[in-house]
Structure 1
C-alpha cells in the first residue's frame, strides 16, 4: 500500500509544475513537467475520483502541463490536424470509445466456489460498462492526447527538438545513479520512499544479479529509457561542437555501460542498431529506417491475427541465441494467441475496461492471461478502431517525416531525425511491452508538428522570441544577450 509520501508527491506535482513554468522557457517546462513526473512520481498510486480518470503519475503531469500552458501562459494550442488522415485518426481515437462502451453493457458472469459452510456457490462477475462511464473514458482519451498536442505546438522547431534530446540525456544521466544503486543493493528505492514494491520482485533478478527499476513500472522500462538517453547523447555528440561534443560522447559511453548492467537484451539490441546510425548515417537514412520500423509496428498485429507470422522460426532463432529469452518469448506468444482469440469475439470496438479483454477461468474467475504488448492491450480493449487510431496517431507522423523531409540538407535537422528514430523504436518495442508513456506522446507530437511544417515549407531554423518577464535566470537559460549556456 502506498504511504503518505506517495500521495503527497502527487499532491505537490502541480506546485512543482508551476515552478518549472515560472523558471523555464515554455518548451523546457513542458518537457520536464511530463518527463520528471514519469521518472519521479510513485507507480501504482492514484486518487480515485468519481466519473473522472484516476489521478496518477500519468494524468497529473499531463493535466498540469496543458493547464499551465493554457491558463497560466495564455498560449493558444492548435488541436485540429491539417491533414485528413490525422483528422480521421484523431476522431477515431476520441470517439471510437463511444461504441466500445455501448456494445459492452452486459456483465461477464462466472461462478466462484464458495468458502462458507452455508453457501455452496458465490456468483462473481466483471461489470458491464454504463453510459455514465462514457465521461470517464472520453476524459482518459483527451488527457492522453494532451502531451501530443503540446509537442505539436511547442516542440517542433529546432530548439524544441534539441531540448527533447537534452532532456533525455540529462534524465538518463541522473537516473543512472539510483539505477547503479539498485543494481548493487537490489531494487528497494520505491519501497523505502513510497512504501511498497511496484511489481514482481522475482522479475528484477537475472543472471545472478539485480535489474534496476527505481520508480518506473518495470526494469524493462528503465532499460529502454536509458537506451533512448544513450541515443540522445550520441546524437548530441554528432551535432554539437567543442567541449559539448566531447562531454556528450563520454557521457554516452558511460551510460552505455550502465545499460549493459541493466541486463535487458531488447534495449541492448536497439542500442547496437541505433547508435551507429545516429553517429554516421545521413538524416534521410535515419528517417527511412524510422519509417520502416513504424511500418513493421503497424503491420505486425494484422499479420499476427491472420497467422502469417512465422512464430516457430522466430523461437528457433531465439533458442539458438539464448534459451531463457526464447522461453520468455514463447510465453508471450502463447498469451498473445489466447488474447487474440478473445479479441476476435469483438473485433471492431473491443471489450472495454475492467479486465474484460482478458481470458478468465469461467468457473473460478481467475485471470489466465497476462498481456505484455501495448498493441494486444489496445486491440482487446478497443478493437481495430481503437488500435488503428492509436497506432496511426503515433506512426503517421513518422511517415509524414519520411514523405516530406526536405531534400536540401540545410533545412534538415539531425535533432528532428533522431527524435523520429526514437519514436519509431518505441513503436517497435510496443509490440512486446506496454511501454507507451506520456513522453512518447510528447515526442510523437513534436514529430507531427515538424512534419506539418515541412509540408508547409516553413522555416524552422529561427527560434521564437523571448517573451521577457516570464523567463527568469536559470542554469539552462541565463539572462541578457550572453551566449546560451547548457549542461551539455
Structure 2
C-alpha cells in the first residue's frame, strides 16, 4: 500500500512542472515533466476520481498541458495536426461508446459473473483514453522545428545518465528504492530474478520497463555516436559503453536483443537499409495479430527453438503462448469492438502480457489498428528530414528505434506509458518541417 509520501509526490508534481516551465524552454520542460514523472513518481499510486483515475501517467500529462497553455502560452492541437491524426484520435476516444453498446450483458469469466457495461462506463473510459493520449498530443504541439529531434536525443541521454546512479544502487542492493521511498514494492519480486541476479526496478514498476527505457537510451546514444562531431566522440563512446553495461544488467533478453540489433543497424548500415528495417518491423507488428488469430503462428516450433538456447525462457514463452491462444479465442467472440474493462477482456486465471493483446481484448480489432496506427504514422511516412545530413540520420534512427518499440509490444506493454507517446508525438511533428518529400 502506498505511503503518504507516495500520494504527496503525485500531488506535488504539478508544482515541480511549474518550476520546470519557468526555468526551461517548452520542449525541455515538457520532457522532464512527462519523462521525469515516469522515472521518479510512484507506480500504482492512484487517486480514484469520479470521472477518471489520477496516477503518475495522468498527473504528468495534465501538468504538462496546464503549463504549456498557461505558462508558455503554447497552442495545443487537441486533436492532432493532420486530418489522419484527427480521425485516429476521435476514433480512439469515441470507441468506448460502441464498446458499451455491445457489452451491456453480464459475462461469466470462469469464476464469477461480471456486470455489463453502462453509459457511465463509456464516459469514464472516454475521459481516460484522452488523458492517456495527452503526451502524444503535447509532443505534437511543442515541436517547433526539426532540430527538436536533436534536443530529444540529448535529453534522453541525460535522463539515462541520471537514472544510472539509481540503477546501479539496485544492481548492488536489489530492487529496494520503491519500497524505501514509497512504502511498497509495485510488482512481483520473483519476476525480477533472472540469471542468478535481479533486474533493477527503481521507480518504473517492473524490470521490463527499465529495460525498455535503457534500450531507448542505448539506441539514441548510437544515433548520437553516428552523427556527433569528432571532439565529442570519445565522450559519446564512453556513454555508449556505460549504457551497454546497463543494458546487460537489465537481464531482459528481448530488450537486449532489440537494443543491440537497432544499435548495430544505426552504426553500421546506410539510411536506406535502416528505412527498410523500420518498415519491416512495423509490418511484422501489424501482421502478427492477424497470423495469431488464424492460427498461423508456429508456436511449438518457436518454443522448441528457444528451449535449445534457454529452457527457462522457453517455459516462460510457453505460458505466454498458451494464454495468448486462450485470450484470442475469447476476443473472437467480440472481435470488432472488444469486451471492455473490469476483467471482461480475459478469462479467470489468464494473463495478457502483450500490449497488442490487452488493447484488442479491451476495445477490439478496429481500435487496435487506430491506436497503434496513430503511434506508427510518422514511421511509415514518405517524408524525411533533409535539411542536414545529421538531422536525416537522427530522423531515420529514431524511426527505426520506435519501430523496435512496436515489436516490443508483442510480448510486453511498455506503450501503456506516456513517455514513449511523447517521443512519438515530437517525432511525428518534425515531419511537418520538411522542405520536400523524399521517397523511401
Q: TM exceeds 0.5?
A: yes
The answer for the alignment partner of 2:351 in structure 1 is: 370
Q: Answer yes or no: is 1:323 the counterpart of 2:322.
A: no
Work out the CA distance in 2 between the residues paired with 1:450 and 1:283. Answer: 18
Q: Distance in 2 between matches of 1:423 and 1:296?
A: 13
Match of 1:351 among 313, 319, 339: 339
Q: Is the contact between residue 149 and residue 430 of structure 2 (CA under 8 Å) also seen in structure 1?
A: no
- TM-score normalised by L of structure 1: 0.85
- Unpaired runs of 5+ residues, structure 2, are none
Determine the structure 2 residue equivalent to 1:462.
none
TM-align CA RMSD = 2.0
Residue by residue over 1:169-193, the C-alpha shift from the partner in whole angstroms, topping out at 9 and shown as x without a partner, is 1111222222222122211111111
Greater helix content: 2
Q: Distance in 1 between matches of 2:114 and 2:432?
A: 44
> Does the CA-based 8 Å contact 2:293-2:328 persist in structure 1?
yes
Offset, 1:438:
0.6
Cα deviation for residue 243 of structure 1 reads 3.7
Mapped contact 1:419–1:443 kept (Cα < 8 A): no
1:28 match: secondary structure: helix
The answer to which of 372-381 and 219-228 deviates more is: 219-228
Residues 108 and 127 of structure 1 are in contact (CA less than 8 Å); yes or no, is this contact kept in structure 2? Answer: yes
- The alignment status of 1:174 with 2:153, answered yes or no, reads no
Name the residue aligned to 1:67.
66
**Residue 155 and residue 284 in structure 1: after superposition, are their counterparts in 2 closer, same or farther (change >3 A)?**
farther
Q: Partner residue of 1:22?
A: 22
CA displacement at 1:255 relative to structure 2? 1.5
TM-score (norm 2): 0.94
1:382-416 deviation digits (Å, cap 9, x = unpaired): 0012111101111222101xx22267865952222
Match of 1:446 among 398, 423, 426: 426
Equivalent-residue separation in structure 2 for 1:142 and 1:9 (angstroms) = 23
Q: How does 1:285-324 map to 2 (within 5 A)?
A: 285-324=273-312
Whether the 8 Å contact between 2:135 and 2:421 is mirrored in structure 1 is yes
Is the partner of 1:73 in helix, strand or coil? Answer: coil
Unpaired segments of 5 or more residues in structure 1?
113-123, 361-367, 459-488
2:172 matched to 1:184?
A: yes
Q: Counterpart of 1:140?
A: 128
Name 1:49's counterpart in structure 2: 49
- Aligned equivalent of 1:383: 364
Match of 2:436 among 457, 465, 482: 457
- Does the 8 Å contact 2:137/2:425 carry over to 1? yes
C-alpha separation in 2, matches of 1:169 and 1:110: 45
How far off is 1:281 after superposition?
A: 2.4
1:219 aligns with 2:218: no
Partner of 2:107: 108
Residue pair 1:82, 1:452 contacting (<8 A) in 2 also:
no
Q: Which moved more, 1:23-32 or 1:438-447?
A: 438-447
1:417 corresponds to: 396
Q: In structure 2, what is the Cα distance between the partners aligned to 1:323 and 1:155?
A: 46
